[in-house]
Amino acid sequence: MKIGFIGLGNMGGPMAANLVKAGHAVAGFDLAAPMPEGVAKAATAAEAAQGADVVITMLPNGAILRAVADQVIPAMAAGAVFCDCSTVDVESARAAAAQAQAAGLGALDAPVSGGVGGASAGTLTFMVGGDATAFDKVKPLFDVMGQKAVHCGQAGAGQAAKICNNMILGATMIATCEAFALADKLGLDRARMFDVVSTSSGYSWSMNAYCPAPGVGPQSPADNGYRPGFAAELMLKDLRLSQQAAEAVDADTPMGELAAALYARFVEDEDGKGKDFSAMLPRFEARHRKG
């Protein structure tokens, strides 16, 4: 396929590179990031979109998505698909989809899970909202960039799935870090705690696959000085999106709300910015009950 790719940063760059390796023709645009090898540099976002079968965007937030949609949708050919892989608010995802559909285009919101490592390895999971015809057209590209793509429903459903998943992840990681810090103060060996919890009812992805304790369980950012696999500030972004969505639909999410507040404190008032989201563990280690 001929693909326009807009947003070639830490996630978008490796995704575009994998499409090139699979034999697709990719034209890219980014305000700052370098072009991956094999990606043709476009002078503007609209130029990258011209003549493309699929335009993929990977952008920082909903406001930028709306601005880019205004530029590229008029440049796209009828029948092409506008596929946004950013993690943004549900309202912006639905607005971009409506704009694309009004222009005779297919539209998908397809946020990802798997981080920079998954983008490089081509093992991302895509959570996709939009019509089935557009999903079927882009599915071969999802198969190149990832290991799984789930069609979650109509426009906005992909973003809804992403923020619900990450609300669980944020709250679960906090609980996991709290438990390790408590175990330390109770004199319980971390490795023995892992052996128990990882095979008991406390089992979770945060514990079993991404353990926040260095030297315990599979390799994780904790074993690399908490250099981010998934940065704390990105977790904060997703938790805030979850609370924005909860407010919009009058959903009661007290755990999500508290997780957002704790990550905000960690990132904005403490030393969490630039660290992995699992670096909550040394934070709790250093704190006391009322601290």
Quick: pLDDT tens for 58-86.
999 999 999 999 999 999 999 999 999 99
Query: pLDDT for 248-274, tens place per residue?
Result: 999 999 999 999 999 999 999 999 999
Question: Which two three-digit tokens encode residue 79?
Answer: 């029948």
Domain boundaries, the chain: 2-154, 160-286
Q: Tokens 């996630």 appear where?
A: 11
Radius of gyration of the chain (CA): 20
Distance CA 61, CA 52 (A): 23
Say what the pLDDT of residue 115 is: 85
Say what the pLDDT of residue 291 is: 59
Q: Is 162 a catalytic residue?
A: yes
pTM of the model: 0.90
Kind and range of the H or E run holding 228: none
Query: pLDDT for 166-199, tens place per residue?
Result: 999 999 999 999 999 999 999 999 999 999 999 9
Q: Residue type at 84? A: D
Report in angstroms the alpha-carbon separations of 251 from 29, 137, 246, 257.
38, 34, 5, 11
Average pLDDT, integer, range 102-125: 94
Q: Which residues contact 73 (CB under 8 A, 6 or more apart)?
A: 49, 82, 99, 100, 103, 105
Query: pLDDT for 10-58, tens place per residue?
Result: 999 999 999 999 999 999 999 999 999 999 999 999 999 999 999 999 9
Distance CA 58, CA 108 (A): 12
Question: Which two three-digit tokens encode residue 183?
Answer: 């175990």
Q: Which CATH architecture has domain 160-286?
A: Orthogonal Bundle (1.10)
Mean pLDDT over all residues of the chain?
A: 96
Distance CA 203, CA 197 (A): 6
CATH of 2-154, one of 3.40.50.720, 3.30.70.940, 3.40.50.150, 3.40.190.10: 3.40.50.720
* Reported confidence tier of residue 290, pLDDT bands at 50, 70, 90: confident
Query: pLDDT for 122-162, tens place per residue?
Result: 999 999 999 999 999 999 999 999 999 999 999 999 999 99
Which one is catalytic: 21, 137, 162, 273? Answer: 162
Query: pLDDT for 192-238, tens place per residue?
Result: 999 999 999 999 999 999 999 999 999 999 999 999 989 999 999 99
Say what the pLDDT of residue 117 is: 86
